[in-house]
Amino acid sequence: MKSTLERTYKPAAKSDWDRLVLDNLDYVGRILSTMVIATRDADQRDNLHSAGVLGLVQAASSYDPSQGVAFRTFAYPRIRGAIVDELRKLSPLSPRVMKHVSVVRELYESMEPPVTPEGLSKHSGLSLDEVHEALEAMRFIKPESWKDLSEIIYDAWHHDYQSPRELVEQKEITLLVAELIEDLPEKERLVLTLYYKEELNLAEVGAVLGLSESRISRLLASARFQLGEAIRWKTR
């Protein structure tokens, strides 16, 4: 008897679909590992993982290798988007964190770019760690497009551009991202590099740097925020 997933999605070649799904189940877990703030509850984490697997299945069923895009690059936004959608349904953030998010968001909208976590801390009265926590939480509750910052960073290191047109279109942003990453504070730069370039999960990055998984998650959120602000400043 076919599974629900197999009945719902009908790829052109079942063997290719099976291979893509089975070979990338670990990738779902790696993406989920960046969302450690989301929940410490095992059942809720299982629900998030299942949502990510559904995103993986959707990606495998619609992937066209002739387009010249690596499967993980194609699948990333679909897996992450499915997890974020499920996460928003769970609403696991505490009232304290939500209050800090509100403070940080309101302050951010009143400040001139590039805004820094240190600047937000100074003007909000929150500790730097509380600001990092709020920035991390904002990734899960604010509307986002598929082509979010995480995907841009990942593409800068991993996307093999096949067509001359695509290469020309992406070259400028790729060079800008690489330049801005080098200007980040050392810890944030190391976390970003180990996660996106070396493809370590949060626990593995923490083991390398001797920091907790939750601390690495907050540093990653801070790095992405600072990079996004730098891009906003450079391209406005």
Same domain for 72 and 113?
no
Same domain for 101 and 86?
no
Q: Tokens at residue 183, please? A: 């200007």
Number of compact structural domains in the chain: 3
Residue 79: per-residue pLDDT = 92
More confidently predicted of 93 and 64: 64
Residue 148: per-residue pLDDT = 57
Same domain for 36 and 115?
no
Same domain for 118 and 44?
no
Give the residue ranges of DSSP H helices in 145-212.
149-158, 164-182, 186-192, 202-209
Same domain for 4 and 85?
yes
Same domain for 78 and 98?
no
Q: Tokens at residue 158, please? A: 């991993």
The CATH number of the domain where 182 resides is what?
1.10.10.10
Which range marks the domain in which residue 199 is found? 144-236
Same domain for 53 and 3?
yes
Phi, psi of 227 (to 5 degrees): -65, -45
Query: Quick check: 213 and 36 in contact, CB under 8 A?
Result: yes
Q: pLDDT band at residue 152, thresholds of 50, 70 and 90?
A: low
Same domain for 87 and 97?
no
> Average pLDDT, stretch 176-191?
85
Percentage of the residues of the chain whose pLDDT score is greater than 90: 21
Residue 124: per-residue pLDDT = 94
Same domain for 174 and 199?
yes
pLDDT digit string, tens, across residues 106-151: 998 898 878 889 999 999 999 998 998 888 777 666 644 434 566 6
Same domain for 169 and 210?
yes
More confidently predicted of 64 and 3: 64
What is the residue-averaged pLDDT of the chain? 78
The CATH number of the domain where 4 resides is what?
1.10.1740.10
Phi, psi of 41 (to 5 degrees): -80, 125
More confidently predicted of 9 and 95: 95
Residue 65: per-residue pLDDT = 87
- Select, from the ranges 12-21, 40-49, 98-107, 170-179, the one with the highest average predicted confidence (pLDDT): 98-107
Q: Which positions ≥6 away from 170 have C-beta within 8 Å? A: 155, 159, 161
More confidently predicted of 157 and 117: 117
Same domain for 150 and 176?
yes
Same domain for 151 and 219?
yes
Question: Which domain-ending residue is among 78, 112, 143?
Answer: 143
**Amino acid letter for position 34:** T
Quote the pTM value: 0.61
Query: Quick check: 177 and 196 in contact, CB under 8 A?
Result: no
Q: Tokens at residue 24, please? A: 């990338």
Question: Which domain-ending residue is among 73, 92, 111?
Answer: 92
